[in-house]
Amino acid sequence: MRNLRPERARWIKVRMAVLCGLMGLGLGFVVSGADRIQNRDGAQWLEVAERQRQRRLHIEPKRGTIFDRNGVPLAESVEVPSISMDAVEMLRGIEEQYIPQRIDQYAERIATALHLPIEDVREKIARRRRFAWLKRRVSEEEVTAMKALSSNDQRYPIRGLAVEGEGRRFYPNKELAAPLLGFVAPDGNGREGIELSLNEELKGKPAEVHGLRDRSGRLLFSEGLENEQALAGHNIYLTIDRAIQFAAERELDAALRTYEARGGSVVVIDPRTGEILAMASGPGYNPNDYSGAEPENRRNRAVVDRFEPGSTMKIFTVATALAQRSINATEPIYCEDGHMPIDNIVIHDTHVHKWLTPTQILQVSSNIGSAKIGLGLGQQRLYEGLRRFGFGESPGLPLPGQSIGVLRPRDRPWVQVETASASFGQGISVTAMQLAGAVAAVGNRGQLLEPVLVKRVTDSTGVVLDEPKARVRRATTSPAVAKMLLEMLVSVTEGEGTGVEASVSGFRVAGKTATAQKIDPETGRYTDTHYVASFVGLIPAERPRLAIVVMIDEPLAGTYAGGSVAAPVFRRVAEMALSYLGVTPDVRNEKGINEATELAKNGDPTAEAYKVVGKGEEVEDTTPKAPQRKPKAGEVLVPDLSGYPAREAIQRALAIGLVPSIDGSGRVLRTEPPASEVVKAGTRILITLEPPT
């Protein structure tokens, strides 16, 4: 600058100073901005950087398995392939002007491989999203075709396609217990049945996988699951037994086809524990393909459908009257020759009778006899008695849509005809599950148990989290009344009872039939063309192992009686279940309450007197007592044949080596020599019969 003129040298210095100043100012701005980004706004920018650098994958845990009581899977989750797409990766590196053409090409090839509409695929690609499902739950052929599209052997390989495993609910037994189990929707949540009510326990808690990704968004490294227990939901073990459930559904379906019925249900309970061994509902559906099923076929009729119980309600009317001592077990009741006017209606009996005992009222199913018992109780005591048996309240099962039925409230006075009709099951409604629980209480010494459907709940490692136990809800009657009621109900399935079709060879069945008219919704009156046929029963009557309820809705006109439609279903289900459970006839209880019968051949005769509640007094049982000595070789014990039909009495006498001789007709009144006496084999025994009253 020495060679420059002073004016020019000063101008250069000024420009250099200005330039340095600007550079210093710019550097100050940079430093200030860096300080702001790093220190003052550091947390915000760190979050942005982490979002760009890391990738989070939402992992749905494996849904828990539903087992039967023996550990047989009823519903389980399996992994099936699904195809997803990264449209950004698919179109990366393609010039913008060629993208529309390439989208059309890719859409056509993908749609052909996956059998999808081209327009739907084109639309998904055009959105240019990082993730989108192309098709879920694909076949192996479609997976192979999809992999071929991504192969480098192709002229234009399609990038961004991925085959991912996805959980799918699978029901290995197809239609078995479908209305009870429900199904799982594509969103992973349960719909209907156990899948819905226990959805939170089954689905578990979702987890997240954290990892790094490169500039194209590809996952490079996974940090692993945050919670290993989130891999699976809880496993549910039901009290249902698959074999008994299968038998119940098989027989129910056969009855529905035979009688062209609208629907029906079968419930099987162990009265000792309250555990539900089977809950069948028909018609059913296949939950593996639930979309094609009719909504009414997905309904669990056993807990949802309400119906008028009809004559099965007479069991609980008589039980309440015996417990309240408003009737005596042997007290005859005048049945008005088959028709009895009350208020503005007339109650009819199918068969005309004058005098009937409570046992005979149950045996021939007399509406008039039951009505008189109900009227003798009165509104309040009848209502309270039915409520004690669980009618008008929820069974308390972990199932959606449970009905409590309809039981008129006691705070509104009942007119006489309402009390009378309620006593034989008209004007009220129940569910099959309520009936099953109530009749199970009779078989459990009068104790009403909370029904149990879930046996235990475990986590994914097998640790038991919950194991419900039987709980007594309340006492319905005394044990003595319950025992006597069982004997009264045996008459329904023997001799001239309405439920002889329910009798099981080698066992005594305590049960009741019902044929209830349905109400026409248009007229509001009972119809003569639509009925509900039902049967409730306990077997063996001496020590019940099974309580079974069968309900058939609208069987074919002309064949709709409960004794001919529902009772055979009970018999076949009971035969299979008893055989499966290993229950064999017990000769020590061949005659029910009389435990001294038929024991001579074992040399172990026993007998136990019991008391029954009558009308204000205790009545001693007249059961023959044990013999004074045990039978020796060549001797037999005279059996107690009282009440048996003539043919069966003869068969029993011959079976143990006695020579029977008959006097009269009807049922056995007494024998000579008398029951429990020890006699020589081959002795002639006189069997005196009397006609039914």
Q: What is the pLDDT of residues 309-325, one digit of tens each?
A: 999 999 999 999 999 99
Q: Would you say residue 633 lies in a domain?
A: yes
Q: Examine the pLDDT at 684 and tell me if it is beyond 90.
A: no
In a domain, 48, yes or no: no
Confidence band of 291 (pLDDT split at 50, 70, 90) = confident
Instruction: Check whether residue 309 and residue 443 sit in a common domain.
Output: yes
255 and 137 share one domain: no
Q: Does one domain contain both 492 and 385?
A: yes
Query: Does 227 map to a domain?
Result: yes
pLDDT one-digit tens code per residue, 330-378: 889 999 888 899 888 899 888 888 899 999 999 999 999 999 999 999 9
207: in domain: yes
Q: Are 308 and 343 found together in one domain?
A: yes
| pLDDT tens digits, one per residue of 103-114 | 998 999 999 999
Give the Cα separation of 663 and 683 in Å (integer). Answer: 17
- Inter-residue contact 378 to 327 (CB < 8 Å): no
Co-location of 581 and 592 in the same domain: no
**Active site residue ranges:** 311
d(C-alpha 166, C-alpha 670), whole Å = 74
- pLDDT band of 92, cuts 50, 70, 90: confident
Residue-wise pLDDT tens digits, 495-534: 889 999 999 999 999 999 999 999 888 888 888 889 999 9
Per the structure block, which two tokens stand in for 440?
């199970």
Cis peptide before 624 (omega within 30 of 0): no
Q: Are residues 166 and 202 in the same domain?
A: yes
Tell me which amino acid residue 668 is: V
- Residue 102's CB is within 10 A of a number of other CB atoms, namely 16
Structural domains of the chain, count: 4
Of the three residues 539, 555, 585, the one that is the final residue of a domain is 585
Is 1 among the domain residues?
Answer: no
Instruction: Tell me the per-residue pLDDT of 420-438, one tens digit each, with 9 for 90 and over.
Output: 999 999 999 999 999 999 9
Residues of the domain holding 31:
6-40
Mean pLDDT calculated for residue range 203-228: 57
Q: Does 604 map to a domain? A: yes
Report yes or no on 49 lying in a domain.
Answer: no
Closest of 444, 403, 408 to residue 426, by C-alpha: 408
For 235, the enclosing helix (H) or strand (E) is: strand 235-238
Single out the residue in 184, 208, 238 at which a domain terminates: 238
H/E stretch holding 636 reads strand 635-637
Contact 530, 554 (CB under 8 A): yes
Both 602 and 680 in one domain: the answer is: yes
- The answer to whether residues 27 and 119 belong to one domain is no
CA distance 42 to 27: 20
| Residue 433: CATH number of its domain | 3.40.710.10
Please state, in angstroms and rounded to a whole number, the distance separating the CA atoms of residues 546 and 540.
8
Q: Are residues 276 and 310 in the same domain?
A: yes
Q: How many CB atoms lie within 10 A of CB 84?
A: 16
| Residue 647 located in a structural domain | yes
Look up the pTM and report it: 0.72
